[in-house]
Structure 1
């Protein structure tokens, strides 16, 4: 029941490896840099660890990785460039797939293109099971539970002290430069030019109302409408996040420095006709929280505690939202308010 980690030598991959080993899980460290992978294996010094170098353009090596694994956690961004070869290899190898994508377009591509192949292969594919996307998907599902009709879901991210990895910087550059963006308005998913605006999000204390950049291009506008009957879904990010000096200049930051991020993620669900519900969580270290979520999900998938169907699923389609969030909160990932 081996779990493969692609991009294992990156910051997120290392955190995922540590979480899986803490659960006595056999793992394969995979990626493009064989020297770095072997150095990480020596550092981990565990009989449960093996190494499998594989370039993104080596379909045979990727398929071999997937065929020898029960699940694959994909941690190597930008996912706009890396998602397709890993996802196709997972399906070809009969292997469950989880990724840490933030970009909406590869998330949309998975649902549009890989749904049939995943169902035929009998595997589960969960994009964006990470800090960005996955937590919002779960919060929205929990807050909207029992509401028959939803006018709007607004996700607010308050992030302070974010220290981007080199891959995160490349991803941000891609997203900032995009003209055509994925949005969900009027009950339909759209791709096209979007006007960026400033607005205010009513975070609960201790954060309080904050100036926001809207829309923030994360993939939950693809995933949330799959299980919440909303007419509009939008994500917003605190404007101050990108004003902090270290955010784009921290590629060489230490793991301890990266762990200093503080965050609140909030979901505001407005029902048709008025009223609705809110939910939020807050904590520290967005990198570790994302790694913990994906590791927990992968262990459950390979242990037979996953969804009762195969295919491409959002986090909240694959796992019941409130229990999943409470499990993470019990492990110290965040303080949860539902």
Structure 2
């Protein structure tokens, strides 16, 4: 029996190519989708697996083509940012077609949109939709769930991202420009989600050795501020990013970087959970190549959904709602994504 078809929207981008390559390495049949038909054909030729690769041009403003794409697949992995602009049409097509949906969003607002607006339609369609199943978002969401497991109470969840060597793609630069200029930000404090202006500050996060304490930008606008409170009953959830990340010269000037250069990132994602009366727990993952790690996370999730190894419930779910957190992270570790410390 042939494996179910998995669609990759935004296949021509750096992340989409990584996702497509990883899916083929797992024996999957795939459909490459996006706006540019010629570029899709070129990528299909490059992948050199004609019996398992097809193409499907579909622009964001062409609902029938998007619907046809989603109807052809069991799972649609959405890789084309900025998701502030691209999330709604792709998600709408997936719901209409009854196709599972996974995306690589980082921005909190499209993640919030899916939970607020698409939850009931997704449940009615009997599908699973997992936003931000990527480096930013899913790993912190899973890590927070694993670290908090068994704790009698949680006061604060702080996610610390340390990233060096980040070379942004054109879409990532556009996303960063949107986030930097954003006035109304999504935050979670005093047990409630809020949207509004936020004062950006510098703080220090206590990364474990060999990094040690680092100056951070806080809050860092990543979607786990939406997802973590869904399964960790904390009073405050905040993400932070090393200030030095945006001080590196190459970060905004690397749109034409080679795939090999983009792979030259190093990272640590650490989660610190404090209890209401003091004390708490920590956990972290450490590795390299944030782009490949994100692609691997989405592929692992998609394959599990096609195999019936997903959640018992349907609807819009965070990574940790969709899959048992520690086993998923351990599987990622086995695949070489990072080293895990809990």
> Which secondary structure state, in structure 2, belongs to the residue aligned with residue 230 of structure 1?
coil
> Which secondary structure state, in structure 2, belongs to the residue aligned with residue 246 of structure 1?
coil
Structure-2 separation of matches of 1:171 and 1:44: 28
1:105 and 2:109 correspond: yes
Instruction: Find 2:257's aligned residue among 253, 260, 263.
Output: 253
Counterpart for residue 160 of structure 1: 164
Instruction: Find 1:233's aligned residue among 222, 233, 237.
Output: 237
For residues 209-228 of structure 1, give each alpha carbon's deviation from its aligned partner in whole angstroms, at most 9, with x where no partner exists: 00000000000000000000
**Alpha-carbon distance, 1:140 to partner:** 0.2
Counterpart for residue 328 of structure 2: 324
Instruction: Find 1:22's aligned residue among 20, 25, 30.
Output: 25
Instruction: Please report the RMSD computed on the Cα atoms of aligned residues, expressed in angstroms.
Output: 0.4
1:336 and 2:312 correspond: no
1:201 and 2:210 correspond: no
1:89 and 2:93 correspond: yes
> Which secondary structure state, in structure 2, belongs to the residue aligned with residue 170 of structure 1?
helix
Aligned residues: 338
Give unmatched runs, 5+ long, in structure 1.
none
Counterpart for residue 177 of structure 1: 181
Counterpart for residue 34 of structure 1: 37
Instruction: Find 1:269's aligned residue among 267, 273, 281.
Output: 273
Deviates more, 1:267-276 or 1:95-104: 267-276
**Alpha-carbon distance, 1:33 to partner:** 1.1
Counterpart for residue 65 of structure 1: 69
Give unmatched runs, 5+ long, in structure 2.
none
For residues 134-191 of structure 1, give each alpha carbon's deviation from its aligned partner in whole angstroms, at most 9, with x where no partner exists: 0000000000001122100000000000000000000000000001100000000000
Deviates more, 1:240-249 or 1:144-153: 144-153
Counterpart for residue 53 of structure 2: 49
**Alpha-carbon distance, 1:241 to partner:** 0.2
> Which secondary structure state, in structure 1, belongs to the residue aligned with residue 110 of structure 2?
helix
The answer to whether the 8 A contact 1:148-1:229 is kept is no
TM-score by length of 1: 1.00
Structure-2 separation of matches of 1:302 and 1:62: 20
Structure-1 separation of matches of 2:181 and 2:86: 18
